[in-house]
Chains A and B, each alone.
Chain A
Amino acid sequence: MSACLRLCTAASCRSRGATALLEHCRKALASDQTQLRVKEVGCLGPCSDGPLLAIDPADRLLSLQEVNGSDLETSLAEALQRGNAATGLKQWQPSGSRELSSDEPFLNLQRRLVLGRCGVVDPESLADALAAGAWQQLPRVLEQNDPAAVIELVRRSGLRGRGGAGYPTGLKWATVAAMPGSQKVVVCNADEGDPGAFMDRTLMEGDPHTLLEGMAIAAFAVGAQQGFIYVRAEYPLAIERLRTAISAAEQQGWLGRGIGGSGFSFEIELRVGAGAYVCGEETALIHSIEGQRGVPRPRPPYPAEHGVFGLPTLINNVETFGNIPALLELGVEAYGTGTKVFSLTGHVQRSGVLEVPMGTSLRTIVETMGGGAPQGRQIKAVQTGGPSGGCVPASALDSPVDYDSLKALGTIMGSGGMVVLDDTTNMVDIAAFFIAFSREESCGKCIPCRSGTVQLEMLLRKLLERRGQATDLEQLEALCHTVADASLCGLGQSAPKPVLSTLRHFRGDYLALLPAAGVQR
């Protein structure tokens, strides 16, 4: 491997000054004869240590958090004068930088299948992606020319939707493939709206070609010609990099008509959202792609039958598509139980993006990899699944992270946002935060959600302002069940989950807000 500096310029490191550091590196290399390359890459993982710089071939990772740009430039130029790039950079330690050992649990407990090329390739360069193995599975699939075999492979792998609900992916693909008609659509749900979740942003910014290849393979398997990526407007860099990747893939003939000389045609269009959380719900998303208000409708008919423009439509999340190339490359056996990407944030020492084998325990993720709560504090809970999820108490940290274990704890896997809450957190305040979110994002179509979330928030505020009574708690719980049972779509059905899960695991926090027994009126 030739010598190369990989500097993360994804959104998080960028917000910490990575682009300025990039310029300094380039200046230092301007007069260099050693052919050292510096390239922009996507997320390297531990965002809280960013900006991050990886050095090849030494396989070193440096945190440049306390590094001054001009010092970096001088120090790099000096290191290169001392010898060739590979030897000069072996010991290079610009002042203020901190080396992250590859033995760090945050790094070595990961299994990067979806994010295998993220942080390795330049996301704006198709040549770089190709050199790292992108777009190798689609030609194989086209050569074998057996869509049913692809679907069968996905089914046997046990892959489930990574967007939250965990629907079996193979089954979904088979349903769309079985629909009559020659016109079908594949949609990628990239409306990553859960606050505290940024796994999909990471893949789109770091390795967009894996997503595009996964979508193209899915399109071939189900017989679709038209694809849409619905991406939220809050991710400008992801949008820019997707646009670049789509047009590069079109130029190389990986997207468009007659792909790879076969009879298979597939085009992908980008659709940018406009800030409506409910558009993550699949029927609302379809309406939004069609240029309408993002209001959900009852199912059935499911999108597989009646989707975008009334055509049979396959909708999967970014990470689900991101699994496909790796799955095809490895085969079902080596793929095993697969992985899940999480974004770890909140009251935790090390935050960032990590991909771990499915079934890793919460404790491993939060304490071993994330370093636990800040000094002197204790973990109280871990919030998973955003506004549709709940809080896992510290006592249940040994649970494995998989769809069914989290469901049993009253929360959901969700898309993979994981917010650590320490012992300074009032869980009623957290419940109120999520209910306020759902109230604001409710589309207003059905009454249980539209009015229910308003009433739930009022009850929670009443408790927080210490105006509540024991009867308010009962009413709160009853109303939660009404909203969950009677709402039209997933937003309303899951909106009460943060309240119900905190009532279940942290009832003490609620009771502490009630007037002391004996003085009750």
Chain B
Amino acid sequence: MPLPLDQPQSGAELYEGLDPVLQRHGHQAHGLIEVLNHAQQLYGHLSEPLLRHIARQLQLPFSRVQGTASFYHLFRFKAPARHSCLVCTGTACHVLGAAQLLADLRNAGMEELGVELGSVRCIGTCSGAPLVVVDGEVWNHVSSAAVLKRLRELEP
């Protein structure tokens, strides 16, 4: 596939926040995952133009960049919702009811609250099980009712 070199918007200015990490890895292919991690942190998600920009900067085929990014669970290709709620589904949370918690939340219409529901495989603070991670903050020993109540109190 030919690289879209003739695209009017090269992305270079749009994504200049990525320059330091690209430089740190000498624009070499082995820095790809580090670059993707930083790109997602900076821009929230990995859009196609962003992936194309990274491909050009690392001199890699677009397919190689997208193929690698899509392999890893934590990379996302759609813009995130305002809030995220991740239900931990590790072993300790599982034996303390995480599956039911996830099912209950799934049926609770989280989209209307601007909350994206997902799951995470163990964040390693199992003494708080079952737990959820909301916008990076851990809520311990939760029930679905308690989670929903607190989610409704979040800034819309």
The residues of A with any CB-CB pair to B shorter than 8 Å are 11-12, 14-16, 47-48, 50, 192-198, 201, 233-236, 271-277, 288-295, 309, 343, 345-347, 351-352, 383, 386, 417, 419, 421, 425, 430, 433-434, 437, 443
Contact = CB atoms under 8 A, between A and B. Distances in A.
Contact of A288 (B33, B67, B127, B137): B33
B122 A195 contact: yes
Interface string B79-98: 00000000001111011100
B92 A294 contact: no
Contact of A196 (B29, B68, B126, B137): B126
A347 B131 CA distance: 15
Given A15-B131, A234-B121, A293-B71, 7 more contacts: A15-B138, A274-B36, A274-B73, A291-B30, A291-B32, A383-B91, A421-B95
Contact of B91 (A16, A346, A352, A443): A346
Given A293-B67, A433-B91, A345 B37 contact: no
Contacts of A386: 91
B71 A16 contact: no
A274 B37 contact: yes
B120 A345 contact: no
A425 B95 contact: yes
B138 to A, nearest CB: 4
B3 interface: no
Contact of B124 (A201, A272, A437): A201
A345 B92 contact: yes
Nearest to B38: A272
Contacts of B121: 193, 195, 234, 275, 277, 437
10 contacts: A15-B140, A234-B124, A235-B123, A274-B73, A290-B30, A291-B33, A347-B95, A347-B96, A351-B126, A419-B92
B90 A196 contact: yes
B72 A198 contact: no
Interface of B: 28-34, 36-37, 67-68, 71-75, 89-92, 94-96, 120-129, 131, 136-140
7 nearest CB pairs, A to B: A195-B90, A198-B124, A274-B72, A291-B32, A15-B138, A275-B74, A195-B122
Contacts of A235: 123-124
A75 B29 CA distance: 57
Nearest to B70: A293
Given A11-B124, A201-B124, A433-B94, A291 B73 contact: no
Nearest to B30: A291
**Residue of B29, B127, B138 most packed against chain A (CB within 10 A):** B127
B122 A196 contact: yes
A430 B30 CA distance: 38
Given A195-B90, A195-B122, A291-B31, A351 B95 contact: no
A99 to B, nearest CB: 19
Contacts of A351: 92, 126-127
Given A274-B36, A345-B126, A291 B29 contact: yes
A12 B138 CA distance: 9
**Residue of A15, A47, A271, A419 most packed against chain B (CB within 10 A):** A15
B14 to A, nearest CB: 23
B75 to A, nearest CB: 6
Contacts of B71: 276, 293-295, 443
B37 A234 contact: no
A351 B72 CA distance: 31
Contacts of B124: 11, 192, 197-198, 201, 234-235, 343
Given A195-B91, A419-B92, A12 B125 contact: yes
A70 to B, nearest CB: 21
Contacts of A271: 33-34
Contacts of B131: 15
A425 B99 CA distance: 14
Contacts of A425: 95
Given A12-B127, A192-B124, A343-B126, A276 B92 contact: no
A201 B125 CA distance: 9
A487 B139 CA distance: 38
Contact of A48 (B72, B95, B127, B138): B127
A443 B71 CA distance: 8
Contact of A309 (B30, B32, B34): B30
A195 B92 contact: yes
A175 B34 CA distance: 30
Contact of B73 (A276, A417, A421, A433): A276
